[in-house]
Amino acid sequence: MPTWWYPDVMQAPRTQGRDERPVLLFFSNRRSGPARRMSSLVAWVGVTEKKRLRVVEVDADDHRELAKALDVSVVPTLVLLKGRKVLGRLDGRVTGNDITRLIKPFVGAGSRAQA
């Protein structure tokens, strides 16, 4: 298991068993204005895509090793993972359409994450 695989960040709820949905990691920190402005958009994506995608917010300051392992050098950054494999990423502030283009190939054609 890679050293960046942190159970506290990535652990699926034990009651659901193994979760096969892709995971969208949202790297932010308390000091980043762009990350704070994006947080509501990312939360909305998490709600609208909850059956097909997990969204996890990661404080880059609290999880420096994970950020370093995933080559996160700027916040906000979105990293899409499935089965510990990086499927795609978006660095910096992005729109809902950017997120849709990132996740659509991996969650199906019915993706509603547009804003």
pLDDT one-digit tens code per residue, 66-97: 999 999 999 999 999 998 899 999 999 999 99
Query: pTM higher than 0.95, yes or no?
Result: no
- Does some domain include residue 40? yes
- The per-residue pLDDT for 4 is 45
- Does some domain include residue 6? no
- Does some domain include residue 33? yes
- Does some domain include residue 113? no
**Is residue 113 helix, strand or coil?**
coil
Beta strand 23-28 pairing with 54-59: parallel
**Domain of residue 79, CATH code:** 3.40.30.10
Q: Which residues of 14-23 are buried (b: 16+ CB within 10 A; e: fewer)?
A: eeeeeeebbb
Q: What's the total number of domains in the chain? A: 1
Which residue reads 């300051």 in tokens?
61
Per residue in 5-29, pLDDT tens?
555 555 544 444 578 899 999 999 9
Domain of 52? 20-107
- Does some domain include residue 102? yes
- Does some domain include residue 2? no
